[in-house]
Amino acid sequence: MKAVILAITAALVLSACATTTSPTGRRQVVGGVSQQQLDQLGAQAFAETKAKQTVNRDGRQNAYVQCVVNALVAQLPPQYRGVRWETAVFVDKEPNAFALPGGKVGVNTGIFTVARNQDQLAAVIGHEIGHVISRHHEERITKQLGTSGLLQVASALAGAAYGNAAASTVSQLGGMSAQALVLLPGSRTQENEADEVGQRLMAQAGFDPAQAVNLWQNMMAASGNRSPQWLSTHPDPANRIRELQRDVPALEPVYRQARQSGVTPKCG
């Protein structure tokens, strides 16, 4: 009976999926989880990460990150702009960052060794927020729902549908939330899309889009021109740099317009 219920639930969940278009015009299949559940998963993953890692209490660095986040968020569509975005800086030498549904941004202190000014930090965070507004987390979870190994997700959603508290959903998904939303890398298609969306976002927010190129050059130099381990599933850095360079001329007018309109972030 349990197997039957799980199968029916999975079928119901997958039938609720929808085809949509990403910010770059790419076809996506989403809808495996509701926005409320997605936000809960983001909050759970963020809490898990803060519990496992050392949170940096440096007020200046935290204010710096929050300032960049605020500048980028001000340019987002209304449904994301209206969220109270929470940030955390983690004591970790690995140059990494992430953003989660529900308005969560995490940055490792190691990122400051390669993101050497506010524009380069905006390139990092813009890329991560690009994943959120392109619905990449939802897209991945929707895809994962079709696999037998994640029928527990369908079970949890069924419980919520039949009246269990939302907290029960988060509890049952807690073991995989950080993995699904933080640890599992996006596909190369998603990474390329986040680059494109993030670079445009930083230009709209008054950050120099050419600095995204400098950021990745710094990344490569810091790793001895080898791709860092955490980038092993990402696009080839050399190709990534070329594509970012390719898009700079089209984004320069966007950047200039933002500055002329008074959008001039002063974060550090």
Domain ranges of the chain: 24-260
Find the catalytic residue in 48, 86, 94, 128: 128
Q: How far apart, in whole angstroms, are the C-alpha atoms of residue 215 and residue 117?
A: 9
* Structure confidence at residue 152 as a pLDDT band (50, 70, 90): low
Q: For 56-72, write each residue's pLDDT tens digit.
A: 999 999 999 999 999 99
Alpha carbon distance, N-terminus to C-terminus of the chain: 60
**Least reliable range by pLDDT among 39-43, 100-104, 141-145, 233-237:** 233-237
**Nearest to 101, CA basis, from 41, 53, 168, 48:** 41
**Nearest to 148, CA basis, from 32, 15, 7:** 7
Pairing label, strands 18-21, 27-30: antiparallel
Q: Which phi and psi angles does 9 have, rounded to 5°?
A: -60, -45
* pLDDT of the residue at 222: 84
Structure tokens at 232: 């092993």
**Nearest to 180, CA basis, from 204, 206, 152, 203:** 152
Q: For 98-137, write each residue's pLDDT tens digit.
A: 999 999 999 999 999 999 999 999 999 999 999 999 999 8
Q: How far apart, in whole angstroms, are the C-alpha atoms of residue 52 and residue 182?
A: 13
* pLDDT of the residue at 15: 53
Q: How far apart, in whole angstroms, are the C-alpha atoms of residue 144 and residue 151?
A: 9
Could you tell me where the DSSP H helices lie in the chain? 2-15, 35-52, 59-73, 78-81, 118-133, 136-144, 151-161, 166-178, 188-204, 211-222, 237-260
**Least reliable range by pLDDT among 86-95, 158-167, 214-223:** 158-167
* Catalytic residue status for 128: yes
